[in-house]
Structure 1
């Protein structure tokens, strides 16, 4: 995996990946469950440089498709403008973990109402500590 300045710049501009999260993303090439049904998105995903079945913003696209009217579409737009999906899971219900681009808050969402989320942690570091302590292990290690 090449972490060129261009790739980081593309990820930052296309997906508005916060600079503080880019360092974490630079630490792995691929991070997924054994069955590959749950995975962390990578810089390549955000930059549009992968050919996976799901784009990094797939759930946002699904929400736009399901929007009933302009007000629903605007609510979807506002939510996804703030939250960056960092983990996707398609092993059962479609679900994700996202980080607020504004506050760093980490949330969990599940279909069909992706934008109705549950708060998991104050930031990515706190989430990782919780996972190490055994919280949310089912999401990552089924």
Structure 2
């Protein structure tokens, strides 16, 4: 699995992303990650920063999930926004139920608020404002997202391409352009 992580971060770096090594090798699982698959816990522990060049799209690191993090965006920022927007008890319950089953792994503020999250069954979902809880499955397993990053197949996933490899943030090095 470590090789898969290394190759995926390497491909993101080739696309202009910044990757910083993990700050420490903390043991134990943070409460925010208690339902996360082991692969996701190991992934978020494999770097301290993983973001696009202008830091408008980033994968959450282990540090981001700690309760003491004082960054501009909390790991559960979109859940908090949904809670604030809820106008009935039923809406609050629906928001809570959704986020109990989903752990955000990537946040984007580039063109509005978007995220990728891992659902409790291992599927990777994409959600966006204004209704963050209307998420759609983009990969059936987290490892498939990493393999996609590495392979960048001809049959591309528009959501992932836009989030991770937006053409406007990558310099075209094709001769004659």
TM-score relative to the length of structure 1: 0.89
1:4 aligns with 2:19: no
CA displacement 1:51-86 (0-9 Å, x = unmatched): 210000000000000112000110000000000000
What SS does structure 2 have at the residue aligned with 1:131?
A: helix
**1:139 alignment counterpart:** 163
Higher relative contact order (CA 8 A, sep 6+): 2
Long gaps (5+) in structure 1: none
Q: 1:99 & 1:79 partners in 2: Cα distance?
A: 12
Larger Rg computed on CA atoms = 2
What SS does structure 2 have at the residue aligned with 1:84?
A: strand
Which segment is superposed worse, 87-96 or 13-22? 13-22
**Over the residues paired in the alignment, what is the CA RMSD in angstroms?**
1.4
TM-score relative to the length of structure 2: 0.72
What is the CA-CA distance between 1:141 and the residue it aligns to? 2.1
CA displacement 1:78-112 (0-9 Å, x = unmatched): 000000000000111100000012x1010000000
1:78 aligns with 2:97: yes
Aligned length: 137
What is the CA-CA distance between 1:26 and the residue it aligns to? 2.1
